[in-house]
Homo-oligomer: A and B are copies of this chain.
């Protein structure tokens, strides 16, 4: 095994260190955040610092880096109070990564992706995404140590492919074609090992059956 001490980490070349540290949390959620400003100029940006914060109420956390291109998304979210989170499928993973470039105009146009508005939500969704969430700003925390901003959002609207949901509510993300990422720049599909039952100290785990393969139409 290779080990890095605190001092070793501090001495690393900046680019090398960024690649290494970004790999360490493991595989990450990744999606496209859709926003618009009050003048209705849209923005779409790829984000991997997104995480589940609770189901009752339904909450999703987003971490915004200081002084980066991603700040357009944060500015629009603060200005309007709303954004969307859209899963990425393998079919448009390259376009999704391209949204991280610094565009002056909308990334929807620049990257060949399609905005879509639901009848009831004020921020743009991504038409290509199989799973789309409408999010409302709830609260915001500034991390003292590195000036990143944590934004807590409430999930107010959900769009998903009906045939990918199990009878117990679980959404089969493999059936929906959602990808994950690692590091700064790597995208991955997944293969299920198993779903396990709720763990209790004195009982062996059971596995929960996935969707029958022929009930799923891959998108």
A residues sitting closer than 8 Å to B (CB atoms) are 1-6, 9, 12-31, 48-61, 63, 65, 85, 87, 90, 93-94, 97-103, 110, 118, 120, 131, 133, 138-139, 141, 143-146, 148, 150, 152, 154-162, 165-166, 168-171, 173-174, 178-180, 182-201, 205, 208
Beyond A31-B26, A58-B9, is A161–B1 a contact (Cβ under 8 Å)?
yes
Chain B residue with Cβ nearest A166: B19
Q: Do A145 and B138 touch across chains, with their CB atoms under 8 A apart?
A: yes
Given contacts A54-B148, A187-B192, A205-B94, are A18 and B169 in contact (CB under 8 A)? yes
Q: Choose one: B17, B58, B98; the contact of A199 (CB below 8 Å).
A: B98
Total identical chains: 2
The CA-CA distance from A109 to B192 in the complex, in Å, is 27
Nearest CB of chain B from residue A84's CB, rounded to whole Å: 12
Q: Given the interface contacts A53-B148, A145-B139, does A3 sit within 8 Å of B118 by beta carbon?
A: yes
Is A17 a contact of B158 with CB atoms below 8 Å? no
Contacting A157 at CB < 8 Å: which of B4, B161, B170, B171? Answer: B4
- 6 cross-chain pairs, A with B, having the tightest CB-CB distances, nearest first: A19-B169, A16-B169, A23-B171, A27-B180, A21-B55, A188-B190
CB pair A171–B20 under 8 Å, yes or no, is: yes
